[in-house]
Amino acid sequence: MSNSIRKSENTLERRDVLKLLGLGTVAAATGSIVSSDALATPDSAAKLISKLSGTSSYKSGKITLKMPEIAENGATVPLTVRVDSPMSAGNYVKSIHLAAEKNPNPEVASFHLTPASGKAEISTRMRLGKTQNVIAVAVMSDGSVHRVSRLVKVTIGGCGG
Amino acid sequence: MIGRKILLAVAIMGLGITIGFTNNASIAVADEAEKRAKDPRNKHFIVGEIKSGYVYMTSQTRDMQDDDFANPAFVWVDTGEELWNKVNGTAGKSCASCHKSAAKSMKGVANTFPRYDPKTKRMIAMQAYVNRHLGEKMGAKKWKWESEQMLAMTIYLKLQSRGMPVKSIINDQNRATLAPFLAKGKKFFEQRRGLLDMSCKHCHEDYVGNMARSNVLSMGMPNGFPTYRLQWQKPGSIHRRFSGCNKSIRAKPYKRGSEEYTNLEFYLIHRSAGLKWETPAVRN
Amino acid sequence: MASKPRVKLPKSVNKGQVVQIKTLIPHKMETGRRKNKKGGKIPRFIINKVEATFNGKPVITADFHPAVSANPYFSFYARVEESGTFKFVWTDDKGGKVTTSKKVAVK
């Protein structure tokens, strides 16, 4: 190996190596962030939830959001949201909304239920670009809104490709 | 120059010191690794010293694999079954015309690839064999290695071996012929390559169980392939994985169906003998 | 290729039983934020709506955004009071629809 101190094209700075190691990270996986666009903020997520639910005053206790503590991969993070409700004609969950605080956009999904739903429990899979809170709200037929949030850690894998 | 800086990066990866983590996150990650190690499901996926990639996945990822409905790869299984029954090519036949029920005729076929091809005097992988079969027996057009059809067909075929133990095809009769290819595959596995000057063995034997950032290094077993990879958001072949791994260490990747990757696949299957076939698995 | 959705629900139930319905449809759910090799943006193309009805009456509707993972998995519940047919419709950004139905019998 050459003893020359001169930098040839073959020389890599450590930051370049780390950047190379970083390829195939969550960003590529989610197929989302490639440019440096602004991300959602807790503020924009809160505004979205307020707009979707029609209020900023939330109750807690009836709605739960089950998500992993650490996501295996940000591209596919399973979640289950459940609301304690008899789902009868006079007392049911009208809608459930999900928002993400630090994704490129805070919108995730909205679900519109009916008493025929029988049980207010929904499962799906979402994309998370980085560690962040996911917020779920349930709008009840009596107008009350329940809210819950979950912190999901999204880490960068080392085994891209 | 390069050498030292690369070694530093490798050492950081290899010794499992995760970069850029806050205290909180690294504790959570260590807890998670422990959780996976203690999962009671593990015992069905370990044979002696050999561990399936399953035991390195989170609980949620395992749930996805355990449920044939939740496993997205089963969309491709459905397509595979359709293709099996569909007439294709100038001969006017479908796979079913000759092979009847796949569940019967293809049972155990996962253990027979890669197999020795007397025509080329080399090992031939399942995808390459399917293509040859499509052309010669059916007069049908070939499928690209990672095409929806090829993924669907190879997953469907290997599914028929699910639950069976991986078994090497080498026996006393064919050992003389096959041993050189096994040796080539093993050599590839142990050969340093690329800018990072690493071999498969570094991650998949020497540092198994350690972290490469947030990924736990598995033993690199092939028994779940083609697998649904969360990273790809679709299923992919093992040659695709080889290609990605090689690119990750800045080594030149070889082509799908190349001698190098076919021999490596042959070696990996031999190395995983005893584990059960899980295709289609769900991996990170 | 195959945009064939998968639906899982029981074939026969007791009257008034609440059953879980699982659905999965293959789809890239292209977010619109990825770039192609030439540097241009790959346009957004996702399934943005899933509707489930029973004997013509709405059971549940889901609105999806690009944050929903590829090959969207969606499970929910439905109370079955009478025999009939569940109909599922997936709609994409271009207005394209994929439909499937499943019959349920009340014992």
> Tens-digit pLDDT profile for chain C (107 aa)?
356 899 999 999 999 999 999 999 999 999 999 999 899 999 999 999 999 999 999 999 999 999 999 999 999 999 999 999 999 999 999 999 999 999 999 99
According to the model, what pLDDT value does residue B266 have? 98
Is B284 in the C-facing interface, judged by CB distances under 8 Å? Answer: no
DSSP type of residue B250: T
Say if residue A13's pLDDT is above 60: no
Question: What pLDDT, in 10s, does the model give residues A56-114?
Answer: 999 999 999 999 999 989 999 999 999 999 999 999 999 999 999 999 999 999 999 99
Q: Which of B159, B185, B210 represents a domain boundary (last residue)?
A: B159
User: B215–A158: do the CB atoms touch at under 8 Å?
Assistant: yes
Domain limit, last residue, from B159, B184, B217: B159
Q: Are residues A108 and C78, on separate chains, in Cβ contact within 8 Å?
A: no
Residue contact A68–B25, C-beta within 8 A:
no
Among B95, B98, B203, B245, the active-site one is: B245
Domain that holds residue B44: 2-70+165-283
User: Do residue B63 and residue B175 come from a single domain?
Assistant: yes
**Number of residues that this document lists for chain B:** 284
Instruction: Examine the domain organization and report whether B229 and B191 are in the same domain.
Output: yes
Return the sign of the alpha-carbon dihedral for residues C47, C49, C55, C59: positive
Look at residue B127 in the predicted model and tell me its pLDDT. 98
User: Is B203 annotated as catalytic?
Assistant: no
Q: Is C67 on the interface with A (CB under 8 A)?
A: yes
Q: Please choose, from the candidates C23, C39, C31, the residue with its C-alpha nearest in 3D space to the C-alpha of residue C98.
A: C23
A145-154/A70-71 β-pairing: parallel
Distance from CA of B95 to the nearest CA of C (A): 19
Half-sphere exposure of A90 (CA within 13 A, CB side): 0
Residues B29 and B80 in one domain: no
Assess whether B42 and B175 both reside in one domain: yes
pLDDT at A161: 67
For every one of its 284 residues, what pLDDT tens digit does chain B have, with 9 covering 90 and above?
Answer: 445 555 555 544 544 444 334 445 566 666 777 888 889 999 999 999 999 999 999 999 999 999 999 999 999 999 999 999 999 999 999 999 999 999 999 999 999 999 999 999 999 999 999 999 999 999 999 999 999 999 999 999 999 999 999 999 999 999 999 999 999 999 999 999 999 999 999 999 999 988 887 788 999 999 999 999 998 999 999 999 999 999 999 999 999 999 999 999 999 999 999 999 999 999 99
Assess whether B200 and B249 both reside in one domain.
Answer: yes
Assess whether B64 and B10 both reside in one domain.
yes
Architecture of the A14-154 domain: Sandwich (2.60)
Listed residues B159, B190, B215: the one ending a domain: B159
Query: What phi, psi does A21 have (nearest 5°)?
Result: -65, -25
B46 shares its domain with B172: yes
Q: Do B57 and B169 belong together in one domain?
A: yes
| B231 shares a domain with B93 | no
So what's the pLDDT on residue A24?
38
> What is the C-alpha R_g of chain C?
16
Q: Where are the domains of chain A?
A: 14-154
Enumerate the residues of chain C whose CB falls inside 8 A of the CB of residue B72: 24, 26, 71, 73
**What pLDDT score was predicted for residue B135?**
96
Residues of chain A contacting B214 with CB distance shorter than 8 Å: 70, 155-158
ipTM given for this complex:
0.95
- B60 to chain C, any CB pair closer than 8 A? The answer is no
**Count of structural domains within chain B:** 2
Q: Is the domain of B192 the same as that of B107? A: no
Q: Is the peptide bond before B226 cis (omega within 30 degrees of 0)?
A: yes
